[in-house]
Amino acid sequence: MKSKEFSIGLLDQYHLYIPCEIAEPFTASKQSRVKVKATFKQNNIEFYAAIKKDKNTNDYKMMFGKRLQQELGVFQNDYFQIQLFEDTSKYGVDMPEELDAVFKSDHEAFTIFEGLTAGKKRSIIYAIIRIKNTQSRIDKALIMCENLKRGETNPMTLFKI
């Protein structure tokens, strides 16, 4: 499933307004998480997001934080193109190679990881993705695996020695 490409601007500092005709086919099929392709001038980015319905206005919106705004190169009054796609990823975000390799070598930690909520899994994956250096990603993944095996599941302390 995918939407048509459409023009959009920031609803407020951190959100995008998603028109009902675009959002409802996804939400009706119980797919509130989507893959997004955004284009502005020569910049293209892809990311995963959740479509949420605003209880007060019945409008649909999506988080679009400062990091994504900077990557795409947009400001508050800019309009850009986006297209939504069905999220076919296992975790709602792509698994980094380094984390996948560590999990393949530590089945016990992977089993514990699989038992976590979808949101905690995504938090862990995003924490690893934010690390730029490959070796640092591996090191943090190893620390996280050891902490999982000790029973630690709080994403705030999971990466601490």
Q: 3 CB contacts (<8 Å, ≥6 apart)? A: 22, 25, 26, 83, 84, 85
The neighbouring-strand residues paired with 8 are 80
Return d(Cα 30, Cα 48) in angstroms, integer. 16
Predicted confidence at residue 54, as pLDDT, reads 84
| Closest listed residue to residue 11, CA positions, set 77, 74, 58, 56 | 77
Predicted confidence at residue 22, as pLDDT, reads 94
For the stretch 87-132, pLDDT in tens is: 888 988 889 999 999 999 999 999 999 999 988 999 999 899 989 9
Alpha carbon 114 to its chain centroid, in Å, reads 17
The neighbouring-strand residues paired with 79 are 9
Predicted confidence at residue 9, as pLDDT, reads 92
Q: 10 CB contacts (<8 Å, ≥6 apart)? A: 16, 64, 69, 74, 76, 78
Sign of CA dihedral 124, 47, 86, 95: negative
Predicted confidence at residue 88, as pLDDT, reads 87
Query: What CATH number labels 6-86?
Result: 2.40.30
In degrees and rounded to multiples of 5, residue 69 shows phi and psi of -60, -45
Residues of the chain with confidence (pLDDT) below 50 = none
Predicted confidence at residue 81, as pLDDT, reads 97
Predicted confidence at residue 161, as pLDDT, reads 84
Predicted confidence at residue 80, as pLDDT, reads 97
Predicted confidence at residue 137, as pLDDT, reads 94
